[in-house]
Structure 1
Amino acid sequence: MPWKLAASLLMVALALPATAEIYRWTDARGSIHFSDTPPPRQEHDQVTLPPPVTVPMSENIRQVDKVRQSRAQVSRLLAPDSGDRYAQSREHQEKLKLCQGYRKQLDRIQGQLRAGYSNDRGNSLRQKRRKLSQRYSRECVLD
């Protein structure tokens, strides 16, 4: 029985989060060092780190699903009937390809914006996205 108590206490102790102290000091050449052990005979500071920030991904996933569903609904509303002569026309097929191309370009630009950028690059990407979005709306949605 005592070994069960000892084993359960050991399990609880192992489950606790590990904490380590971090020390910072500057050497004679001006280099800054960080370590989990304090330097011998050297003036040092103990570093305290803030707790990590966590962002719940479930809300982001729900938002992406809502956007995907909205796009699918709009596509269904704008899609002509399969028996319609207009749907079979070459002109309409070309327009669909053009609109799909716009959508892909917009998605690619949005991905580039999410990936990070310099100020100038970001401004040009936003301008490009704005012009392409206007063209997409004018030629694919409003028409």
Structure 2
Amino acid sequence: MKPGIRALTLLLSSGLAVTASAEVYRWTDASGAVHFSDTPPDTGQPARVELREPVTVPMADNIGQAERVRKSRKAVGRMLAPSGEDRYRQEKQQAQARAARCRKLNQRLERIQAQLRRGHSNERGNRLREQKREVGDQYSRECILN
């Protein structure tokens, strides 16, 4: 390595070390605004701010913690889940309730469609079309997509 490049590298690395250990000053100006700077102001008495080292957590520790939380949630879910026959009974009741909701929504859609076929004024027809969109969206979310 050439002596000039070596000297420049040494100078830059020492400059970075000085910058990293720079002091921080805090002061309030005449209008009440608080300022922070690495150089003290020309007027007034600045307070020196003590900076603490930043806390860093290795990525592996974050990933490990996330995995432990995931396992804990699964374990709690298993403990709270109903067992065998109870689970079957609950699932059957939920399926029946869902089927009943879907039948009601479908009947409501059919009623709205029948009213639309009869013909109504623009205002009434617009309200019926809006209802049909809302009920149709709800039917899609609850009965088709799930």
Same fold (TM over 0.5): no
Using the size of structure 2 for normalisation, the TM-score is: 0.38
Using the size of structure 1 for normalisation, the TM-score is: 0.38
The structure with the greater share of residues assigned to helix is 2
Which of the two has higher C-alpha Rg? 2
